[in-house]
Amino acid sequence: MELNELTIHELQKKLRAGDTSSTEIVQAVFKRIEAVEPRINAYITLMKDVALADALKADEAVKKGDIRALTGIPIALKDIFCTKGFRTTCGSRILENFIPPYDATIVEKLRQAGAIFTGKTNMDEFAMGSSTETSFFGTTKNPWDLNRIPGGSSGGSAAAVAADECIASLGSDTGGSIRQPAALCGVVGMKPTYGRVSRFGLIAFASSLDQIGPFTKDVEDCAILMNGIAGYDPKESTSIPQDVPDYRSFLSRGIDGWTVGIPKEYFIEGIDAEVSEAVQKAIKCVEGLGAKTMEISLPHTKYCLAVYYIIAPAEASSNLARYDGVKYGYRSPDGQDLLDMYKKSRSEGFGAEVKRRIMLGTYALSSGYYDAYYKKASQVRALIKRDFDDAFKTCDIILTPTTPTPAFNVGEKTGDPLQMYLSDILTISTNLAGIPGISVPCGFTKGGLPVGVQFLAGHLEEGKLLQIAAAYEKNANLEKRRPNL
């Protein structure tokens, strides 16, 4: 196997043993990027020169015995995280040339752990989308089938890992934007508990829903990255001031005696037959590991999509008001006066989907409609959270499909926003409840497209997720495949 095809923990062993160097790993990754990136479009900005310089520093550190958790490991960053001195576009024309003056907290933490950054990955504009087709920088393609989407909004991060264009990556998840592309690209993707990972330096979409998490090639790498990014940050007001366990310590524990809840509302008409079949096999595997499964009900699931598409656009409307062409970002050269400059900068700088959600959100927050829409949605959100609280009184973990279908064709749903929104129907509830979830590969369709199974756990129980995900991954006996690029 080539170095770029290995996992974090495999490369760590090689680095410690002196069997390879960080420079060789980074060179292998960029060789792969040069070979396949023109067909995939996973990156918006590459950082090759800096990555190679950082690799030399990592090699010097290794010689001195200073090997940290991520020393010398090439990691890609979704282009929604601020990176000092490197442009951060959020997939939008309005930030096409924006260079932040500071690093996001997770960027600082990964640097301190020794990570090397390959570049900034493509994404739906301002994280609004489920297919990475709304990016100003073009559509990212699924490495398993270049005619299909990789999922979204973190499609570039998922595709880069699946195509071995990095060793691991980070994304953000507002309604499924890590787990859905992870499933569609055949990699592991985790959304931690809201507040477990600092959002400082994350360009906000919906502040009560956004959370940062990893894309990795296996569950052990997910635990390694979670160790690197989780923890309290005094700079971030929603950060949880609670100690972080060593997530790797959960990987070798079994699930014998656990109760796994299967929500009847998630196995409904409309789920692709091959997706359902793969997830049923995952359920059998979990039962074979000593867990008991039971049907549970999450009765307010039917309201999740409506609640999400009131709350998320409302918060987006507020968050995106700052892009006015004044302090930073795109400014229209044709503005006749201040108001005209505002209008033209925003209409020219934002894409169609972002404008649609800003208008939806502004309407929901407007005088006379706030109580009927945003306030009511927030009340139903509390009921959705209570459903999960009640469910976890009877089961340890919840198991569901991650997505209702495999990856769909590029352009298939761009003309029908509602059909696009339904792509996230199985992941949205997790964000509304603020609980953690993980998607793990669970097979392939007859056409060779990946399928993912989703595990959900209670507040701050990422360790449990990693425990069952590792046990499943080890015993599922899935066929090892790589995209044929």
* Under 8 Å between Cβ of 412 and 146: no
Q: Is 332 in the active site?
A: no
Which residue is catalytic, options 21, 22, 92, 153?
A: 153
What is the radius of gyration, based on Cα positions, of the chain? 21
* Under 8 Å between Cβ of 224 and 8: yes
d(CA 17, CA 13): 6
CA proximity to 411, closest of 40, 141, 42 = 141
Q: What values do phi and psi take at 390, rounded to 5?
A: -65, -40
Q: In one letter, which amino acid is 137?
A: F
Which residue is catalytic, options 92, 135, 172, 177?
A: 177
β-sheet with 450-456: strand ranges across: 43-46, 116-121, 74-78, 168-173, 211-216, 188-191, 437-444, 450-456, 397-401, 259-263, 292-296
Q: Is 327 in the active site?
A: no
d(CA 218, CA 133): 27
Question: How many CA atoms are closer than 13 Å to the CA of 291, on its beta-carbon side?
Answer: 27
Which residue is catalytic, options 22, 78, 92, 464?
A: 78
Helix and strand numbers (H, E) in the chain are 15, 11
Is the peptide bond prior to 153 cis by the omega test (within 30 degrees of 0)? yes
Q: In sequence order, what are the residues at sequence separation of 6 or more whose Cβ sits closer than 8 angstroms to the Cβ of residue 101?
A: 84
Q: Is 177 in the active site?
A: yes
* Under 8 Å between Cβ of 88 and 98: yes
Q: In sequence order, what are the residues at sequence separation of 6 or more whose Cβ sits closer than 8 angstroms to the Cβ of residue 396?
A: 255, 258, 259, 260, 291, 457, 464
CA proximity to 317, closest of 366, 280, 271, 268 = 366
Q: In one letter, which amino acid is 113?
A: A
Residues belonging to the active site: 78, 153, 177
